[in-house]
Amino acid sequence: MTERRTSHAVYVISVFAELAGVHPQTLRNYERSGLLSPQRTSGGSRRFSDEDLAALRRIKELTNEGVNLEGVKKILLLEADLQAARDELASSKSQARSNVEETHRQYRRDLVPVQNTVALFVEAQRRGRGSF
């Protein structure tokens, strides 16, 4: 079974509006406001994706809470920025962990047992060679 990509635009405006429970004109208004960006066919028809549906659900949730469209736009931008920052932080943490693990692997290869090092130093002191 193949997994459908969420960004693949497959829904025409009438089907998408019905799925979302909104009027097609509302979708056009959201597009004009910059809240939705449906893909276009070569003939200029709008095609919506599952990602658009998730975004529309978030828009509806915010507007139902009393946020106006300009506020919704700002909230969505902030949420996208926050997600990008979280993704970058997770990537940085992963890279840092990887770097620490690699450093520890290097230490294990390069370590000289302390007992042998001390013995060499003490033996050199006994023979009267104060320095190396």
Mean pLDDT, contiguous 10-residue spans, the chain (132 residues):
62 92 94 93 92 94 95 96 97 95 74 58 65 52
Is residue 9 a contact partner of residue 52, using CB atoms and an 8 Å limit? Answer: yes
- Here the tokens at position 115 are 């007992």
DSSP secondary structure code for residue 7 in this structure = T
pLDDT for residue 35: 94
The structural domain count of the chain equals 2
pLDDT for residue 114: 60
In the numeric block, the tokens 């089907």 are attached to 15
pTM for this model (two decimals): 0.65
Is residue 49 a contact partner of residue 19, using CB atoms and an 8 Å limit? Answer: no
**What residue type is 130 in one-letter code?**
G
DSSP secondary structure code for residue 5 in this structure = P
75 and 132, same domain (yes or no): yes
pLDDT for residue 7: 66
DSSP secondary structure code for residue 130 in this structure = -
**What residue type is 129 in one-letter code?**
R
45 and 98, same domain (yes or no): no
74 and 44, same domain (yes or no): no
DSSP track, 19-55: HHTS-HHHHHHHHHHTS---EE-TT--EEB-HHHHHH
Count of other CB atoms within 10 angstroms of residue 121: 11
58 and 99, same domain (yes or no): no
pLDDT for residue 9: 78
